[in-house]
Every structure is written in structure tokens, then in C-alpha cells.
Amino acid sequence: MGKRGTLLKELDDSLSQVQTLIKKGADEQKMDLYKRQFRALTEINEYVSTYEWAGHEKNREKLRMIRESGFDYDFIRSELNMSSDALKSFLYRNNQKLEKYIGETTLDLIMSKNNTVGYGLMNFRLSAGIYKPEDIFMPYCYERFPEGKFDFIKLFESEPELRFLYTYSKVGFEEALANIDMTKLSALLYILKNPNIEKYREEQKDFIQVLLGINMTFEDYLMKLDNQRFEYANEQEFVSSIIDDSYVSDYNSEEIEVLKDLEDFDDFDLE
């Protein structure tokens, strides 16, 4: 049976553990994780509880009995008149079957604190053969793909297409998201959702048009940002030349213009 025991028992223990955590309560972030873990484990449990993966009916009945007994192996040996070795062999063989159908690492992924529930659930669906292609990709992206048609191709000659599919898969999205500064992303989304922020009104209009594919390409937009970055750097360099560096960030664009006027005044010859 191995040190970890059977996957059936591990599944039941995991479900019980998550239900207990949900009842105890936690902060919003942890509760979100617990609820997603519970939904994933429930989906797996519904599949496992059919016992169709176990083969013939006698096999299924024995597994039901073992599970319903709470994995009381002494009771099962007595009830089924099985030796310890016979029971171990039976559990091992069926554990191998279940591992094939739900995935060896599925429960570990779902129960991990590293927020890999989605990976675990997809691993289960792939192993059980019940996934749909739209489960892999972002919804809008999949709708735009051509209909799948059989053709003889070599995968090693399809690298651009494979990279494209990976980029717009949910896994590719999560990988890209992991490399993003969430504070900046949150601020950008706030700007997008709130059109009346005077400070960002013009920039917001440009940004939304780019996201909608209106008026300018993303490359043009990046060039515009580069120009803004250059102007900002020049302003900061100017301010640094006339005030203490530690106060540079306290000046806004209007105050910088005033400082420029003062510099012009100093250069003005009264004689």
C-alpha cells in the first residue's frame, strides 16, 4: 500500500480536511483557496464514486465496502475472509488503476498551498479523458480558433503554432501573470475602470483605444510611452539641478513648469 496509503483514502481525508477548514473560517484569500479545493475534490469524488474505473462489479463492491467502512482493514479482512497479503494486493492493484484515471500528482497539486488547484483539476480531467479543449484555453481565444480538422503534420515542424497555443492557454496565461507586478497591474485596472481620474484622462483614452485596436498599434503606443519617459527623465534631471535630490519626487508637472519659469527669470538680464 506504500507510505501514503491508497488514493481513495487520501481523497476522503483531503475532502474532510478542506471541509473542516471551511467550517473553521479564515481570511478571504484562504477561504477562496479552500472553496476551490473543495469544488475540485468534489468533482473528482463524483467520478471516483461511480467505480467504473475499477472494472467488474465484484471489484466495485469490495471497494465500496472498504470505503464505507472508513478503511477499517480488520473489519474488511473478516468480512471478506481475506488474508492481509490478499487485501494488500487487492488495494495495490486498484490503487494503480485509480492513479491512472485521476493522475498520480493530482491530489498533491490540489492540496498544495501554492495555489495549483487549477493544474490539479486539469491533470485529473486529462487522466480521466473527460477534458474539453476549451478547458485549456482562455474562452475568447478558443472561440477564435479554426475548427479542428485532421491532417498529417509533424509537430516538430509546427513550433510557431505550438508557441501560439501555449501563449493563449490558461497555463501560459498563469505563467505570464506570475511575472507581473500585481501592484502596477491593479493600478492600471483601476485607471481603466474609473474614467474620471483627471490626472490620467488622456493616457487612459490612449490605453483603452490600444486595447480595443482603435487608432494606434501597441508598438505606436509603446513609442509614445518612450517619449513620455524621456520627457519625464529630462524634467527630473532639471529639478535635480536646482533642488535637493531627496525632494524631486514631491514635485508635480505644474510645479516643474514654475521652476522652469524661475530659471528663465534668473537668466533674464535687467540691464
Q: Say if residue 89's pLDDT is above 80.
A: yes
Q: Where are the domains of the chain?
A: 7-130, 132-145+155-179, 181-216, 217-271
- The answer for residues whose C-beta is within 8 angstroms of residue 109's C-beta and 6 or more apart is 116, 117, 119, 120, 123
pLDDT at 256: 57
pLDDT at 265: 46
Cα–Cα distance for residue pair 90/108, rounded to 1 Å: 24
pLDDT at 213: 81
pLDDT (tens digit per residue) in 68-79 = 999 999 999 999
pLDDT at 109: 94
pLDDT (tens digit per residue) in 139-178 = 788 888 888 888 888 888 999 999 999 998 888 888 888 8
Are 117 and 36 in contact by the 8 Å Cβ rule? The answer is: yes
Cα–Cα distance for residue pair 226/220, rounded to 1 Å: 10
Mean pLDDT, rounded, of the chain = 84
Run of H or E residues at 126:
helix 117-128
Q: Say if residue 261's pLDDT is above 80.
A: no
Cα–Cα distance for residue pair 3/227, rounded to 1 Å: 62
How many residues are recorded in the chain? 271
pLDDT (tens digit per residue) in 95-131 = 999 999 999 999 999 999 888 898 899 889 989 988 7
